Amino acid sequence: MKSMSRPVALLLAVGVAACVSEAARQPAAAAAPTGDVTTAAAAADSLAADSARAGAGGTAAVAAGTTDSAAAPAGPGDTLKRSAGGTLIAGRNRHDQESFNAAIRKGESKAATWPKGPAPAPGALLPGHRIVAYYGNPHSKKMGVIGEYPEQQMLGMLDRTVASWQAADPRTPVKPAIHLVTVVAQGAPGADGGWRRRESPEMIERTYRWAQSRKGVLFLDIQASHSTLQAELPLLLKYLERPDVHLGVDPEFYMHHDKEGVRPSAKIGQMRASDINYVINTLDRLVREKNLPPKVLVVHRFTRLMVPDAVNIRPTSRVQVVMHMDGWGPPWLKFDSYHHYIVNEPVQFTGFKLFYHNDTKKGDALLTPRELLQLSPRLSYIQYQ
């Protein structure tokens, strides 16, 4: 039964996270994933090539009937106009198509009442831009693409991936991003029992320069583990004072509430709206006091219990909240996750994560910009790991 297999399959995402702890503790021992159907570099090149062909009038990515002019709605609650259902690339199966159509229908049914939140303060990135981010930590080849490849190769891949999204939706400017896991969950408690490692100032500055080199933004991500948001966030405020630095928080590695005492990655953690609202209020105060443009806050999610009371999250005019679909697996499972955990429990803006290796290990092609642009509400943030 699909309803039974979805939660079980989503738990596989923890397998990736489990690699995070060990690889981050022992960066010299980290090894690149093996046995993948495609490499991240090849996938980035493929996306760019598909977009170039489509921009020249080709139909490799999208069948006739889904027009470019329909690919750039004006706001987070707008929907695409299409004749019937969605269009996937050749090779997707019936299960993929059914789940894709169901996700689109659910999004369209929510469009009229989608909570856009308060009007953004001047200088806000969303909804006028789409953010395309590369994720990971440079100490680990297993955590994500920014640690898997040498600096210049990785940045070139990011350029091509950004170009593929820009070609697929020319009317929405794409903002490149580096998403650094800055507080990294660990497999051992450490001296203070926090089960996490804090990234060095030198590495934060290095990744900030990467983002600047692409006229992009940097996200600092917190896997607080047995530490707390109240302990970790204040240490990052000096970086968040910069107008081009934003934040992510990861409930998967927040081992509190009903997960107190549990080893990170042994079970999926949880944040509640009160935790996330603390972060929002802290960022809001920073923006107000330092006269900054609004901050974007990315909240990872791939199960209901990761954020069981998401309806109580309160974005402000100074803090824009992206609920980010962070599970990996075949296309149908990712569409189901977006449907049930992002669209079905709306907060403000939406995000979608793509795993170069884990999404393709069973032979599925990586989801393309032109496929994902058909989802409703439109995606504001796309992350590649």
Buried b (16+ CB within 10 A) or exposed e, 278-314: bbbebbbebbeeeebebbbbbbbbbbeebbbebeebb
Q: What is the pLDDT along the chain (385 residues), one digit of tens a residue?
A: 333 333 333 333 433 343 333 333 333 222 233 233 345 666 666 665 554 444 433 323 322 222 232 333 334 444 334 435 799 999 999 999 999 999 999 999 999 889 878 999 999 999 999 999 999 999 999 999 999 999 999 999 999 999 999 999 999 999 999 999 999 999 999 999 999 999 999 999 999 999 999 999 999 999 999 999 999 999 999 999 999 999 999 999 999 999 999 999 999 999 999 999 999 999 999 999 999 999 999 999 999 999 999 999 999 999 999 999 999 999 999 999 999 999 999 999 999 999 999 999 999 999 999 999 999 999 999 999 9
Cβ proximity of 275 and 314 under 8 Å: no
Looking at the DSSP bridge assignments, the partners of residue 68 are: none
User: Do 341 and 105 touch, CB atoms closer than 8 A?
Assistant: no
Structural domains of the chain in order of their starting residue, each with its CATH number: 2-55+85-384 (3.20.20)
The structure's pTM equals 0.84
